[in-house]
């Protein structure tokens, strides 16, 4: 299998999803791609001029209105209705990042009374060796890098925002997707047209301010494999757990989508009856809020690998 390397350039970047987008590269199932990515906001670096960071390149709207994504990639063997397995081999953060709280209109900020005035911003120095981030105001936290956006365009005409996650992936923002994990996404269009971006150095479940430590990534090493399996929603196998996802404007419905996906998976894996799977899920499956801030909310259902001691 081949290994490809892609760096951010005007020709490799885009900020939307569209099934009409021209691919930047054609690869084969099983190939590995080593990406370098920008931060989500298209910044060239942490330095500011007149209170604004310098953009990496000129953006064209509306196709570049969202997250800075690398892609799309056309996978030769990918057919609509199959699934794409994205194995995360390695992630390495860049040297800087930024985060913020308040200062703009959102459901969270409005509810907490923090939408007015200036944002409380932090600029972070990231150490990929010690895995410690240090802010310009002296905060220190442990880094936990992952990619916020991994996905493909829906099979619908037009240009689609990168903000909401969809059944075919996108802005999932799940901190569980660490190296060693495999994310499985339904393939909506032939070739897949896969893109990646939105590096996060650290984020809590919920992403409550609307931002993680947004950062460029020096390395995002992924292996992309077409799987002859029909999925309706994303699922993932991490080093420690199985995860299913739900996205919806309503938190309860997002929870039900994630739970239903986990029940389906438990039936597939262990041969349980449906009510048997629900009974056991109530004992061993955790529902976690992935994020509250991406137009639709996300919930992930988590089954830790060691929770079911003996299965039939």
At residue 248, does pLDDT exceed 60? yes
Which CATH number is 36's domain given?
2.60.120.580
Tell me what the mean pLDDT of segment 136-156 comes to.
Answer: 98
CATH number at residue 258: 3.10.28.20
Which of 207, 183, 159 is CA-nearest to residue 84? 183
Residue 208 lies in a domain: yes
Span 26-61, pLDDT tens digits: 999 999 999 999 999 999 999 888 878 999 999 999
Tell me, yes or no, whether 76 and 29 share the same domain. yes
- By DSSP bridging, strand 43-49 and strand 140-142 are unpaired
Q: Does residue 51 belong to any structural domain of this protein?
A: yes
Predicted confidence band of residue 24 (pLDDT cuts 50, 70, 90): very high
CB 298 within 8 A of CB 176: no
102 found inside a domain:
yes
Q: Is 104 exposed, middle or buried (0-12, 13-18, 19+ CB in 10 A)?
A: middle
**Owner of token pair 């309706």:** 232
CA dist 95 and 51 (Å) reads 20
User: Does residue 74 register a pLDDT over 70?
Assistant: yes
Domain containing 201: what range? 3-227
Give the angle 144-266-32 at the CA atoms, nearest 5°: 45
Tens digits of residue pLDDT in 178-205: 999 999 999 999 999 999 999 999 999 9
Do 287 and 210 reside in the same domain of the chain? no
Residues contacting residue 201 through CB under 8 Å, at least 6 positions apart: 93, 97, 124, 126, 133, 143, 144, 145, 212, 213, 215
Closest CA to 29 of 227, 233, 230: 227
188 and 278 part of one domain: no
Regarding whether 105 and 178 lie in a shared domain, the answer is: yes
Structure-block tokens of residue 162: 């990168």
155/294 same-domain check? no
d(CA 91, CA 128): 10
Using the CB atoms, write b or e for 51-82: b if 16+ within 10 Å.
Answer: eebeebeebeeeebebbbbbbbbbbeebeeeb
Other C-beta atoms lying within 10 Å of the C-beta of residue 49: 7
Percent of the chain with pLDDT over 70: 99
Shared domain for 182 and 280, answered yes or no, is no
Find how far residue 305's CA is from the centre of its chain.
Answer: 22
Percent of the chain with pLDDT over 90: 96
Q: pTM of the prediction? A: 0.97
Domain closes at, from 199, 227, 255:
227
Q: Are residues 254 and 223 in the same domain?
A: no
pLDDT in tens, 281-308: 999 999 999 999 999 999 999 999 999 9
pLDDT exceeds 80 at position 310: no
Any domain includes 232: no
The domain total for the chain is 2
| Domain co-membership, 223 together with 250 | no
Does residue 120 lie in a domain region?
Answer: yes
Residue 204 within any structural domain of the chain: yes
Q: Give every strand in the sheet of 140-142, ordered side by side.
A: 96-101, 120-127, 132-135, 140-142
Residue with tokens 């992935």: 290
217 and 247: one domain?
Answer: no
Regarding whether 245 and 153 lie in a shared domain, the answer is no
Domain boundary pick from 197, 227, 257: 227
- The Cα 258–Cα 269 span in angstroms is 17
User: In terms of domains, do 143 and 197 share one?
Assistant: yes
Residue 310 lies in a domain: no
- Is 60 exceeded by the pLDDT of residue 312? no
Of 202, 227, 252, which marks where a domain is finished? 227
Check whether residue 185 and residue 76 sit in a common domain. yes
User: Coil, helix or strand for 107?
Assistant: helix
- Maximum Cα–Cα distance across the chain: 64
């Amino acid at each position: 299998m081949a290994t490809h390397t892609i760096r951010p350039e005007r020709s490799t970047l885009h900020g939307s999803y569209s099934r009409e987008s021209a691919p930047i590269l054609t690869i084969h199932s099983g190939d590995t791609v080593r990406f370098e990515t920008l931060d989500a906001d298209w910044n060239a670096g942490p330095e500011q001029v007149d209170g604004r960071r310098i953009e990496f390149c000129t953006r064209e709207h509306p196709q570049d209105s969202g997250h800075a994504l690398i892609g799309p990639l056309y996978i030769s063997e990918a057919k609509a209705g199959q699934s794409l397995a994205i194995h995360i081999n390695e992630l390495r953060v860049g040297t800087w990042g930024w985060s913020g709280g308040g200062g703009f209109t959102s459901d969270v900020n409005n509810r907490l009374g923090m939408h007015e005035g200036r944002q409380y911003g932090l600029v972070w120095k990231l150490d990929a060796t010690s895995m410690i981030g240090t802010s310009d105001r002296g905060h220190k936290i442990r880094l936990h890098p992952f990619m916020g956006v991994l996905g493909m365009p829906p099979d619908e005409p037009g240009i689609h925002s990168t903000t909401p996650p969809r059944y075919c992936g996108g802005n999932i923002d799940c901190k569980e997707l660490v190296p060693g994990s495999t994310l499985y996404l339904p393939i909506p269009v032939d070739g897949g047209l896969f893109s990646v971006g939105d590096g996060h150095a650290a984020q809590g479940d919920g992403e409550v301010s609307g931002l993680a430590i947004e950062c460029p990534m020096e390395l995002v090493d992924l292996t992309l494999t077409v799987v002859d399996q029909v999925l309706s929603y994303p699922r993932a196998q991490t080093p420690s757990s199985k995860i299913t996802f739900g996205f919806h404007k309503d938190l309860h419905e997002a929870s039900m989508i994630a739970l239903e996906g986990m029940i389906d998976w438990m039936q597939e894996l262990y041969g349980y009856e449906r009510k048997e799977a629900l009974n056991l899920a109530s004992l061993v499956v955790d529902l976690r809020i992935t994020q509250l801030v991406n137009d639709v909310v996300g919930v992930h259902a988590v089954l830790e690998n060691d929770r079911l001691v003996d299965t039939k």
